[in-house]
Amino acid sequence: MTEQSPLPNLSTDKDFDGESFAPIYTTKVTVSGGTASHGRASGRARSADGVLDLDLRMPVELGGDGQGTNPEQLVAAGFAACLHGALSLVARQAGLDPAAISVEATVAFGRDPEDGGYLLHVDLAVNWPGIDPEVASPLLEAAASLCPYAKMAWQGTPTTITLAP
């Protein structure tokens, strides 16, 4: 039997005072193969641990066969899952049952009027039946401040692009 590693000391308090980014979890996904159009590739996406292993396909709307997932669906799934998790956490901390919460992410791929390239637009809709909007509003704000996807969307994410040796 494998012994579980101790969980990192995580909190929802703004209690980290380090001088630089402190990674807690890192993952690696490689995309290869396929064809490219509209500046996007189809092919295969596989995580280093093999848990994620799927075909990427262009959606029908962009001339593809639509027979696999696409990057926008993956971004939508990640964003919705991240906000859902953060909101569920703050709801529990407020003594509320998060079981009814659902988050729908709509990701649109389109042209960027600033530079003529491409851009994503994200809309998130939280469905929380029975919750008073005055109660939900500060919890949504707290969840958004915890969700790294929301921070990435609003603040940007440090990114490097290098040619592998």
Choosing from 69, 104, 132, the residue where a domain stops is 69
The Cα–Cα gap between 135 and 128 comes to 11
77 and 127 within one domain: yes
Domain CATH number, residue 124: 3.30.300.20
86 and 117 within one domain: yes
52 has a pLDDT exceeding 60: yes
Domain CATH number, residue 33: 2.20.25.10
- What is the per-residue DSSP string for 56-68? E---GGGTS---S
Q: What is the domain count for the chain?
A: 2
Supply the range of the domain harboring residue 45: 23-69
Residues 6+ apart with CB under 8 A from 111: 117, 118, 119
55 and 131 within one domain: no
pTM for this entry: 0.84
57 and 28 within one domain: yes
**Of the listed ranges 23-27, 31-35, 140-144, the one predicted with least confidence:** 31-35
Q: Report the DSSP beta bridge partners of residue 106.
A: 123
36 has a pLDDT exceeding 70: no
Sign of torsion, CA 66 70 72 77? positive
Is residue 74 a part of any domain in this protein? yes
Q: What are the structure tokens assigned to 119, written together?
A: 């851009």
Buried/exposed 8-40: b ≥16 CB within 10 Å, e otherwise: eeeeeeeeeeeeeeeeeeeeeeeeeebeeeeeb
**Residues 130-154: tens digit of each pLDDT:** 999 999 999 999 999 999 999 999 9
